[in-house]
Each structure stands twice: as structure tokens, then as C-alpha cells.
Amino acid sequence: MFEKKKILAIIPARGGSKGVPKKNIIEIFGKPLIQHSIECALNSKYIDKVIVSTEDIEIAEIAKNVVHMFLF
């Protein structure tokens, strides 16, 4: 919460990138790129809710696993 306002983070993650296909699942420093974005949003003291929007099943599974790691 920031100044009594709730903050929503929306992370768009397309699977079909034109420049670098499947870039969101490419590992960087041992984690998929999308995982870095999700973890930063979840760790922020200002963001109250995080939504990942994707059409790619593999990205969706990674996002679910990251959220599961934070809950348990």
C-alpha cells in the first residue's frame, strides 16, 4: 500500500516474441527471465497484488510455481 492506495502490478509475458522467441523462459542467473520480474513485484513493499498475463502454457506454469514458492 502506498499513501493509502492499493497498487496492482500487471506483468505481460508473451510467449511469441518477435525479437527473441520464448525469451521469458530463457534462464538468466539460474532462473527464467519471467521469474525475476515476478519475484521483484512480490518482494516490493508497495505492490499489493501481482497478475501475470500470458497466452503461453509454459510461462503460466513458471508463474504458478514462483507464486507457490512465495506462499509456502
Q: What is the pLDDT of residue 3?
A: 83
Contacts 24+ apart (CB under 8 A), 27-35: 32/62, 34/59, 34/62, 34/63, 34/66, 35/62, 35/66
Q: What is the pLDDT of residue 45?
A: 93
- pLDDT tens for 7-58 read 999 999 999 878 888 899 999 999 999 999 999 999 999 999 999 999 999 9
* Kind plus residue range of the DSSP H or E element containing 64: helix 57-71
Q: What is the pLDDT of residue 21?
A: 87
pLDDT > 90? residue 72: no
Domain chopping of the chain, boundaries = 8-71
Q: What is the pLDDT of residue 35?
A: 96
